[in-house]
Structure formats: C-alpha cells, structure tokens
Amino acid sequence: MWLRRDLRLSDLPALAAARGTDSSVLLCFVVDPRLEKSSGERRLAFLFDSLREVDAKLDGRLLVVRGRPEEEIPRLARAVGAGSVHISEDFSPFGRRRDEAVDEALGDTPLEATGSPYLVSPGRVTKDDGEPYKVFTPYFRRWRDHGWRKPADSSVPDSAVLDPSDVTKSGRIRIPKAPTRLSFPAGEDAALARWAEFVDDDLADYDTGRNDPAADVTSRMSAYLKYGNIHPRTLAADLGRSDGDQAYLRELAFRDFYADVLHHWPHSLWHNWNRQFDDIALDTDEKAYERFEEWKAGRTGFPLVDAGMRQLAEIGWMHNRVRMVTASFLVKDLHLPWWWGAEWFLEQLVDGDVASNNHGWQWAAGTGTDAAPYFRVFNPEAQAKKFDPDGEYIRRWVGDTDADDYPDPIVDHKAEREEALRRFGEI
C-alpha cells in the first residue's frame, strides 16, 4: 500500500483492497524530492507530522523512503514480492504523470487504484452529452445525484501488517523533522476531534457565519482534507438537511468541482483557463515587484488586505472571504499576474492545493470557468465594512491602523479600478 494523499488508517478503501481476503500488507510512503522542493515549509511539516502519526499507529511499521516513486515503488515491490501495489487515485496533472510512470516501471505487477480524495471523483459528473460542466451550480445539481460510499472499516489485522525490517531495510529513512511549527495539529486523530468540535459548536451557524472572518466559525478541515487525514465522506455522513449542513455540503462540492475542472483542462493549472484573457496588460516591472512585496508583507495600507496577508504569514491559513479580497486586490488593484499570488499562497498555506488554490485565483482574476465577471472589482474598504463591521478581524491581525507605523494606501482604489476596467476593455 503506497500512501500519498490519504494519510489515515480508517475508512481507506485502497487499504482494504490491498488486504483483499487474506494478504499481508506493507505500508510505505515515498518522500519525493520534487514535492519537497515545491511544498512550503508548513505543508511539509503537516505531511511529516501526519506520517509520524500513521507510523505510531502501526507501531513503527510504516516504511518511508526518499527518491523517485517510479524507481522506489518497483524496488520495494520486488523486495517484498508484492502481488500488487495499491493506491488511492490522484488526479493532479503531476500525480497522474507520476502514477503512469510507476505503473509502467512496475511491469507485470498491477498498480491498483481504489477510491480518491473526493466525494465524487473528477470526470464522473458530466452533462447528458458527456461534456464537463464549466459552471458550478449545474455541476452541483448533478453532483448531488451521485452517491458515495459510507465510511467503512478498513482496518487491517495487526498480524497482516508487514514489518519492513523483516522484508527490506534498503533505503529506509527516518521521517524527516518538521521544518516549522504548525499552528494546529496534523493527523487523523486531530482531524476527527476538530470535526466533532465543529459539528457541536458551529455547523448550525455555518450558513450565516461563514463569511465573518472575525467569528472564525468555519471548519478548518482544509489541510486535513488535503492530506487525507480525513475523507470528505466522513464529513458528508454527518450532514443533514438543515441550511448549515447543506451549505457545508456545497463547499465540499466546490472542492470536487475545481478538481474536476483541472482534470478536464490541465492547462488551467498555471495558465488562464479562458485564453481570451491572455492578452490583458499586466504589470511586471520593478514597481510591480515592489508592490508585490508590500502585498506579501501585509503592508498595502488597506487594512482588510493586510490583515489577511498577516494571518496567512503567521498561521498559514486565511479565511475564505479574505482570500477573495486579497486575491482581487493583487489582480485588480495592483494589476499583477494572478499566478504570482497563487504561488505565494501555495508556499504559505498549510492547506495549499493546486486545484482549489489556482482556480480560486482564477475566479478572482475573472479568467477561470465560472469566474467573477471581469467588471466586478472588490472594494477592500467596502468589504471590510460589510464583513468585519466592528474591525475585530483587522485589529486581531494588524492592530491599530491609526498607528504611525501603519502604511498609507499604496494605491488609489478608485483610480486602479478604472484602470483595471480600461485594460479589460482593451481586450
């Protein structure tokens, strides 16, 4: 069983498939230097802490190696005489290429995918004519017609889990030390505990409270979902028909939708989904880089933008409403390429996920499927008045915005809004 984005032991269909009727199972993880390089420190810390938990639950029998999976997995399969290698399916462009390479390198040993990190896997929700959806609401209607498994017991008897020291020692590494401290704990136990707390305390108010960044009543499940510490069906199984529950289900569908978009249009990872926008004028001169630095540091002089960017830098997570405001500001007020912002988010976020992040950015930039129309430009002050009326969120992350060392606005929002519309008008 090759673990990747499914770092848990319960409700893991691929593990149940690996066990089959009576097979022994070796559980392994490959630390891929390419992913180490492209993941921010917080995501690596989350990953390594999650691995440590799995290893502890297996009494030290998780085999961790470092290298290229297309070399390491066949090597391990040969060393243990594996009849098959089991995975949960990965749909990211990188993951698909990697898995194809591993499958080929495995030769006659089958690579078997069971389940995925989604409620409804990418590619399954289509229109009657088989075409993919480009707009979320009709996608969601169809998505709801699909069933998903109920959470099931996938536990494997202790005696069936192979001890790597008995079968292969070669290449085994210690789980690397987390490169930074996390502001909330990783792992399956923490995910289940946080979910139970959210259901008890906040789910009923989710529908009304989810846009209030100061109230902080969202579930904070995103990083757990990213690393598969918990599967969304475990969450969906607890949801009923109330407004809060249904609003939550809709957000889980959003996660599936963006993965589906990436599956059908892999170019939208780092390029405009809508190529019509490729010709828009963007600022990339020295001044643009300076402004980008000010945006990253939370020193734009727009309190809600700065609060969000400081929350991101401090804890590696930002409230969804503020993600939208900070993203819109980078694109529409500073005229910078959305992918600059998307890359910074991925470096900082503990829940950084290319499908949700890059399509969230394209939504804000107006270049994606189902995007905000190009003429909708968030006014950061109006957004603050509406969603943080008492300034509580801003005070929490910025402190006193009247203080001498708080910067003046780096741009004039009204003028930049006009400028953004002018540039859109040109194309």
Question: Please, what is the minimum distance in Å from the beta carbon of residue 90 to ligand FAD?
Answer: 16
Using CB atoms, what's the residue nearest to ligand FAD?
360
Interaction residues for ligand FAD, span 280-339 (CB under 6 A): 320, 323-324, 327
Q: Is 353 in the site for ligand FAD (CB under 6 A)?
A: yes
Window of 78-86, 116-124, 168-176, 349-357 that interacts with ligand FAD by CB under 6 A: 349-357
Q: Judged by CB under 6 A, how many residues of this single chain contact ligand FAD?
A: 27
Q: Is 251 in the site for ligand FAD (CB under 6 A)?
A: yes
31 forms bridges with which residues in the sheet? 66
- Integer Cα distance of 127 and 253 in angstroms: 16
Q: Quick one: which of 190, 221, 312, 336 contacts ligand FAD (CB under 6 A)?
A: 221
- Integer Cα distance of 354 and 364 in angstroms: 15
- Integer Cα distance of 127 and 131 in angstroms: 5
Q: Is 219 in the site for ligand FAD (CB under 6 A)?
A: yes
User: Which own/partner contact pairs does 292-299 have at CB distance under 8 Å and 24+ positions apart?
Assistant: 292/330, 292/334, 292/336, 292/340, 294/407, 294/410, 295/326, 295/329, 295/330, 295/334, 295/336, 295/341, 296/344, 298/397, 298/398, 299/407, 299/410
| Structure tokens belonging to residue 57 | 């639950």
Q: Give the chain's length.
A: 427
Q: Is 211 in the site for ligand FAD (CB under 6 A)?
A: no
Question: Please, what is the minimum distance in Å from the beta carbon of residue 368 to ligand FAD?
Answer: 11
Window of 135-143, 252-260, 293-301, 387-395 that interacts with ligand FAD by CB under 6 A: 252-260
- Closest by CA to 407, choosing from 294, 325, 318, is 294
Q: Quick one: which of 39, 88, 218, 311 contacts ligand FAD (CB under 6 A)?
A: 218
- Integer Cα distance of 378 and 329 in angstroms: 7
113 forms bridges with which residues in the sheet? 87
Q: Quick one: which of 2, 136, 258, 277 contacts ligand FAD (CB under 6 A)?
A: 258
Question: Please, what is the minimum distance in Å from the beta carbon of residue 336 to ligand FAD?
Answer: 13
End-to-end CA distance of the chain: 51
Question: Please, what is the minimum distance in Å from the beta carbon of residue 148 to ligand FAD?
Answer: 15
Window of 96-104, 179-187, 353-361, 374-382 that interacts with ligand FAD by CB under 6 A: 353-361
Write a three-state SS string for 5-23: CCCCCCCCHHHHHHHCCCC
Question: Please, what is the minimum distance in Å from the beta carbon of residue 244 to ligand FAD?
Answer: 11
384 forms bridges with which residues in the sheet? none
184 among annotated binding-site residues: no
Question: Please, what is the minimum distance in Å from the beta carbon of residue 409 to ligand FAD?
Answer: 21
Q: Is 38 in the site for ligand FAD (CB under 6 A)?
A: no
Residues lying near ligand FAD in the complex (CB under 6 A): 210, 218-222, 225-226, 251-252, 254-255, 258, 320, 323-324, 327, 345, 349, 351-353, 356-357, 360-361, 364
Binding site membership for FAD: which residues? 206, 218-222, 248, 251-258, 351-353
